[in-house]
Structure 1
C-alpha cells in the first residue's frame, strides 16, 4: 500500500505497543532479579518459545508441568512468572492518546495480540483503559492462532469487517509486520509513540 492510500482501519499489537510487558518483573517478584535474569538468558531454556506455546493456546497448567518435567531447576521461575504475571504489565507512554484520537474520529480499531486468554482476560482487559477504545481484540490463545501465523491476521480483518489490504498493522516485531505485509496489509514497526504518530499521519490518518 502506498502512502497515498489512507488505510480504512488500524490493527494494533498490544504487548510493547499499547501495554508494556516486562516478564523479568513478574519472575523477579517470586525468585529475585538475579534469578529472573538467569532464567530469561538461560542457554538450556527458551522462555519466549515456551511462552509462545501458551500464547498459541496451550493451557498454562500444561506449560508449567512441562517445565517441571523437562527443566525442574527452572520450575520455581516458571511458577513465579505465572503467579506474579500482573507485575509484568504497565503502560507504553503516548500510545493510549493516539488510540483515543483514532477512536474519537471513528477509525475502526482492532487489537491483535499474542497472549494467553487465561492471562489476558483476568489481568489486562479490566485494567487498561486503552483496550476499551478498541472495537475488538483478537487474543491468540483464544483463537488458537498466534502471529506470524497468517490466520491471526485474517481473523483480525474478519473482526474489522475490512479486507486485509485496507488495514495498517502496527507491531514491535519486524517478523510480525513482515507477515502482515505478505498478506497485503500495510505495516508499521513500532518503536515509540512519536514515530507511530508520524507514520499514521503520513498515511492520512487523523492523529
Structure 2
C-alpha cells in the first residue's frame, strides 16, 4: 500500500530545465552575458523577482547602474521562453503515469508571476498538475516555512502522506522542518525508485 497520497513537485530543473544564459544566445557575446549576470548578482535578482518583486522596479534599479543593464534585463524578459529547455528527461512520462494511477499532483515553485505563463507551453506535463503554487503570485518564496504551510492549508493536505520533491537541498530541509516528508531530486530514475519504495504503483525505470 502506498504511503504517498499527494506529490508536491518543484518545477524548475525538476519538470522543466531552466538556463537563464540562453535568453542571450546569439544576441550578446558570451563575455558580456557573464559580466551582466555577475554585476547584477543575477541569482539574488532572480530570487527577488520570484518573491514577487515588480519587474519595473528591478529595471529602475539596474538603470541606475547604466542603460545597458536595463536593456539586458529587457532582453532577458523578452526571450524568457528560450531559458526553458524542453522537459527534464523522463519526467513527463513519470508525471503521466502518476496522473493515470490517481496520485494527487501539485506544484510548488519559485517563479516570477510575470513569466509563469511560459511554464506549460515549455513543459506540457505541468498542465497535468491539479494546481501550482507560484511564489511570485503569493509573495512568499521557498525556503520560507510559510509557503509550505500555505500549500498544506490551501489543499487540505495530510503531511504524513505527502511527499515534496525539489532539486534544492535547502528547500528539502525546509520542507522537512515544516513537517513535510521530502526528497532531493536528482533525476527521474531516482525519483521513480523513491516512489516505488513508498508503494506508489509506477513502473521500474
When the two structures are superposed, what TM-score results if normalisation uses the length of structure 1?
A: 0.89
Unaligned ranges ≥5, structure 2: none
Aligned equivalents of 2:186, 2:56: Cα separation in 1: 34
CA contact (8 A) 1:147 1:176 kept: yes
Note the alpha carbon deviations across 1:65-88, whole angstroms, 9 max, x for none.
211124655333222211110100
Match of 1:52 in 2: 47
Instruction: Report what 2:143 is aligned to.
Output: 148
Q: Provide the rounded CA distance (Å) in 2 between the counterparts of 1:179 and 1:70.
A: 35
Task: Map Cα deviations across residues 10-49 of structure 1 (whole Å, 9 max, x no partner).
Answer: 1000000001100010133542333223333x2x431011
Q: Map residues 43-82 of structure 1 onto 2, 5 A cutoff.
A: 44-70=39-65, 72=67, 74-82=69-77
CA contact (8 A) 2:3 2:199 kept: yes
Question: Do structure 1's residue 84 and structure 2's residue 82 form an aligned pair?
Answer: no
Contiguous gaps of at least 5 residues in structure 1? none
Q: 1:170–1:189: 8 Å Cα contact kept in structure 2?
A: yes
In 1: Cα distance, 2:135 partner to 2:66 partner:
26
Q: Which moved more, 1:93-102 or 1:22-31?
A: 22-31
* Matching residue of 1:95: 91
1:168 pairs, out of 163, 188, 194, with 163
Mapped to 2, the partners of 1:48 and 1:29 lie a distance apart of: 22
- State the Cα deviation string for residues 154-178 of structure 1 (Å, max 9, x = none): 2222343213332111011111000
CA distance in 2: counterparts of 1:23 and 1:9, whole angstroms: 30
Aligned residues: 201
Matched, 1:34 2:38: no
Q: Distance in 2 between matches of 1:72 and 1:181?
A: 43
State whether residues 23 and 88 of structure 1, in contact with CA within 8 Å, keep that contact through their aligned partners in structure 2. Answer: yes
Normalised to the residue count of structure 2, the TM-score between the two structures is 0.90
Aligned 8 A contact 2:81 2:122 in 1: no
* Inter-CA distance 67–39: structure 2 relative to 1 (3 Å threshold): same
- Does 1:193 find its partner at 2:188? yes
Q: Give deviations 1:79-138, integer Å, cap 9, x for gaps.
A: 2211110100021111111111111111111100100111002x2234432111101000
Residue of structure 2 equivalent to 1:15: 12
Maintained 8 Å contact 1:108/1:160? no
